[in-house]
Amino acid sequence: MRGLRRRRRSYEKLQKNQHRQRNGTLSAMSNSNLTAKPWEHAKTSGSEADPLAIRFVESLSYDRRLYRHDIRGSIAHARMLKQVGLIAKADLNAIEHGLAEIMGEIDQQGDAWTGWKIELEDVHMCLEAALIAKIGDPGRKLHTGRSRNDQVALDLKLWIADAAEQLRGKFKALFLALIALAKRDGNIVMPSYTHLQRAQPIVAGAEIMAWLTAFDRARHRLDALLHINRNNPLGSGAIAGSALPLDRDVTAFTLDLGEPSPSSIDATASRDVAIDLAYALSMTAMWLSRWAEQWIIYLSSEFGFLTIGEAYTTGSSMMPQKRNPDMLELIRGRCGNAYGHLVGLLTMCKGITIGYNRDLQEDKRQLFAAYDMVCDSLDMAARIVATAKFQEDRIASTLDRGHLDATALAEYLVTRGVPFRTAHQIVGKLVRQAGDKPLSSLDLQAFQTACQEAGQPAACDQTVYDWLSASNVVRRYQSRGNAGVTGFQEQLAAWEQRFAAAPQARP
Ligand code: ARG
């Protein structure tokens, strides 16, 4: 009985502690008065803030990573205010110095910066409050003609431009690793698969070129989305613009955003740029996942086509012999998270009226999570590729299975004047005849009889053997972009040229 009471008491203590810890995180971020929001003058005085409401509404915990972009936008805004005569030169100087100091402080102190106060809700209010605390009245002029609604729309655009630049670097690292692998192992002859059934022979490099082509398309979506969304939301205010003589062309120019956005309502209401990036990230994640799945199959002992560095495999806690491709599985698995964030963003936008709604604050939570995840997956993919080795002997030992040269045999017959459909029929028959053995094991008599029976008596002679076997076939492909020797070499040369021409340039 006493034991039971003791257990209940210690449980209650635990609960109380957990509660304290949770609220402690709140107050650790803040050392000022929880009831005061400096911009909420319309509130009945004396009304108490609910700590849960403060935690519920805040975005500071995730939007503080925008601080550099917010400061950049504020400086551009202040310079414009000075240019149109809304603030004095001395105000601008104080604002610029104050913001530069704040940026330096945050660069150094990060999350420990004392200006982060959760009751101020977000990065914008924290920076403004810190500026006012530092420089006084000039700081109070910074928000002239501006709302957090156009401010956050701008910050997001600036952040996305930087994120795209980071992603370009990560794509480039992956491209270079794939190119290096293709240069070393690319001429290895291997089967290709449709329906995961053996199809036609290819060289390994051609498959690597396929991944490169797909990843490159994913990368180009970054350029496309920056192009479509390139305009400046700043100066749109809360929804309707401003009665003050703001010059939005000036801020657009300073921030390298082309033009002012055409509609103040749309500029503050839309999050298309975030959704576009989430889509670009999802497509990247999808291709990474598909590549990961292919390599997981190649790494299985049933295939054994490939090895990767041990650092990118893990053991089993029970089965001592195991090396599992967990990193590739996680690249595949995390793709679903990217889709989730994309759908989250789309759903967030579908039911809100035109104009800012607080729902939109969630955009950053979704986008940052998708971005961080895809960055990690791209980095991991590049490292895995750098350690990969195609297993030539193992692959070669399987090449005689599955009649990979059957299509080439039909094309040989076409070169001898046989209509393709008839050739297809002849080869089908020969495949059945060969059974488990390769087509090249049939004697000439067998080929000639099959042709004769199809009404093509002169279609086949000794030269047929030059068209059989995987290594002959990969040398015969001649259509542009083919997956054999010539197609691979042409594609590889184009990739190498792209980087040789401007090694420092964007991929
Ligand atoms: N933290 C907000 C967000 O990320 C900033 C805009 C708030 N605007 C407002 N009117 N409450 O969306």
**pLDDT value of position 189:** 98
CA–centroid distance, 72 to ligand 1, in Å, is: 18
Q: Three-state SS string across 84-143, please?
A: CCCCCHHHHHHHHHHHHHHHHHHHHHHHHCCCCCHHHCCHHHHHHHHHHHHHCHHHHHCC
> Is the distance from CB of 492 to CB of 186 less than 8 angstroms?
yes
Nearest CA to 67 among 3, 113, 11?
113
**pLDDT value of position 28:** 41
Using most ligand atoms within 8 A of CB, pick from 121, 150, 361 the residue to mutate for ligand 1.
Answer: 361
List the residue whose alpha carbon is closest to atom 12 of ligand 1: 361
Per-residue pLDDT of the chain (507 residues; tens, 9 = 90+): 455 455 555 444 544 444 444 444 444 444 444 446 777 877 777 667 899 999 999 999 999 999 999 999 999 999 999 999 999 999 999 999 999 999 999 999 999 999 999 999 999 999 999 999 999 999 999 999 999 999 999 999 999 999 999 999 999 999 999 999 999 999 999 999 999 999 999 999 999 999 999 999 999 999 999 999 999 999 999 999 999 999 999 999 999 999 999 999 999 999 999 999 999 999 999 999 999 999 999 999 999 999 999 999 988 777 778 789 999 999 999 999 999 999 999 999 999 999 999 999 999 999 999 999 999 999 999 999 999 999 999 999 999 999 999 999 999 999 999 999 999 999 999 999 999 999 999 999 999 999 999 999 999 999 999 999 999 999 999 999 999 999 999 999 999 999 886 656 555
Using most ligand atoms within 8 A of CB, pick from 39, 116, 358 the residue to mutate for ligand 1.
Answer: 358
**Nearest atom of ligand 1 to the alpha carbon of 356:** 10
Question: Is beta strand 259-260 parallel, antiparallel or unpaired with respect to 231-232?
Answer: parallel
- Residue 188: inside a domain, yes or no? yes
CA–centroid distance, 51 to ligand 1, in Å, is: 19
List the residue whose alpha carbon is closest to atom 3 of ligand 1: 361
**Nearest atom of ligand 1 to the alpha carbon of 123:** 1
**Residues paired with residue 232 on neighbouring β-strands, in sequence order:** 260
- The helix, strand and coil proportions of the chain, stated in percent and rounded to the nearest 5, come to 65, 5, 30
**Residues 126, 214: one domain?**
no
CA–centroid distance, 76 to ligand 1, in Å, is: 20
**Nearest atom of ligand 1 to the alpha carbon of 238:** 10
> Is the distance from CB of 1 to CB of 85 less than 8 angstroms?
no
CA–centroid distance, 148 to ligand 1, in Å, is: 6
- Residue 507: inside a domain, yes or no? no
Dihedral sign for Cα 468, 471, 472, 477, please: positive
Burial class (CB in 10 A: 0-12, 13-18, 19+), 51: middle
Nearest CA to 360 among 267, 247, 456, 493?
267
**Residues 325, 270: one domain?**
yes
Nearest CA to 275 among 361, 340, 345?
345
From CA 335, how far away is CA 340, in angstroms rounded?
9
**Residues 170, 290: one domain?**
yes
Using most ligand atoms within 8 A of CB, pick from 121, 122, 126, 270 the residue to mutate for ligand 1.
Answer: 122
From CA 116, how far away is CA 62, in angstroms rounded?
12
List the residue whose alpha carbon is closest to atom 5 of ligand 1: 148
**Residues 19, 159: one domain?**
no
**Residues 61, 155: one domain?**
no
Nearest CA to 280 among 211, 374, 158?
374
Which residue among the candidates 27, 316, 397, 441 is catalytic per the annotation?
A: 316
316 is catalytic: yes
Of 144, 170, 186, which marks where a domain is finished?
144
CA–centroid distance, 118 to ligand 1, in Å, is: 14
List the residue whose alpha carbon is closest to atom 4 of ligand 1: 361
**Residues 333, 464: one domain?**
no
From CA 499, how far away is CA 505, in angstroms rounded?
8
**Residues 158, 135: one domain?**
no
Type of residue at 289: S
> Is the distance from CB of 101 to CB of 71 less than 8 angstroms?
no
**pLDDT value of position 161:** 98
List the residue whose alpha carbon is closest to atom 11 of ligand 1: 358
Nearest CA to 160 among 106, 239, 231, 217?
231
> Is the distance from CB of 379 to CB of 170 less than 8 angstroms?
yes
Q: How many structural domains is the chain composed of?
A: 3
Burial class (CB in 10 A: 0-12, 13-18, 19+), 476: middle
CA–centroid distance, 241 to ligand 1, in Å, is: 16
Of 396, 424, 451, which marks where a domain is finished?
396
- Residue 385: inside a domain, yes or no? yes
**Nearest atom of ligand 1 to the alpha carbon of 360:** 12
**Nearest atom of ligand 1 to the alpha carbon of 152:** 5
The string over 110-126, giving b where at least 16 C-beta atoms fall within 10 Å of a residue's C-beta and e elsewhere, is: eeebebbbbbbbbbbbb
Using most ligand atoms within 8 A of CB, pick from 54, 118, 152, 154 the residue to mutate for ligand 1.
Answer: 152
417: left (phi over 0), alpha (psi -120 to 50) or beta: left
CA–centroid distance, 152 to ligand 1, in Å, is: 7
- Residue 505: inside a domain, yes or no? no
CATH number where 239 lies? 1.20.200.10
From CA 1, how far away is CA 177, in angstroms rounded?
67
Q: CB under 6 Å to ligand 1: residues?
A: 59, 63, 122, 148-149, 152, 356, 358, 360-361
- Residue 311: inside a domain, yes or no? yes
**pLDDT value of position 30:** 45
**Nearest atom of ligand 1 to the alpha carbon of 148:** 6
**Nearest atom of ligand 1 to the alpha carbon of 63:** 4
**Residues 247, 266: one domain?**
yes
Distance separating the N- and C-terminal Cα atoms of the chain: 72
CATH number where 430 lies? 1.10.40.30
What Cα–Cα distance (Å) separates residue 387 from each residue in 174, 307, 308? 12, 8, 5
Helices (H), 186-271: 204-228, 248-254, 264-269
Burial class (CB in 10 A: 0-12, 13-18, 19+), 16: exposed
CA–centroid distance, 87 to ligand 1, in Å, is: 25
> Is the distance from CB of 375 to CB of 171 less than 8 angstroms?
no
List the residue whose alpha carbon is closest to atom 2 of ligand 1: 361
**Residues paired with residue 194 on neighbouring β-strands, in sequence order:** 197
From CA 172, how far away is CA 241, in angstroms rounded?
41
Nearest CA to 333 among 368, 290, 389?
290
> CB neighbours (10 Å) of residue 496?
13
**Residues 170, 306: one domain?**
yes
- Residue 180: inside a domain, yes or no? yes
> Is the distance from CB of 117 to CB of 33 less than 8 angstroms?
no
Of 346, 375, 396, which marks where a domain is finished?
396
Does residue 495 sit in helix, strand or coil?
helix
**Residues 354, 473: one domain?**
no
CATH number where 75 lies? 1.10.275.10
- Residue 75: inside a domain, yes or no? yes
> Is the distance from CB of 302 to CB of 296 less than 8 angstroms?
no
CA–centroid distance, 432 to ligand 1, in Å, is: 69
Which residue among the candidates 41, 45, 47, 195 is catalytic per the annotation?
A: 195
Q: Can you spell out the DSSP letters for 28-61?
A: HT--S-TT--TT-TTSPTTPPPPHHHHHHH--HH
**Residues 364, 275: one domain?**
yes
**Residues 362, 277: one domain?**
yes
| Domain enclosing residue 106, as ranges | 2-144
CA–centroid distance, 233 to ligand 1, in Å, is: 14
**pLDDT value of position 318:** 79
The string over 64-76, giving b where at least 16 C-beta atoms fall within 10 Å of a residue's C-beta and e elsewhere, is: bebbebbbbbbbb
- Residue 506: inside a domain, yes or no? no
**pLDDT value of position 500:** 84
**Nearest atom of ligand 1 to the alpha carbon of 121:** 1
Using most ligand atoms within 8 A of CB, pick from 39, 57, 59, 126 the residue to mutate for ligand 1.
Answer: 59
97 is catalytic: no
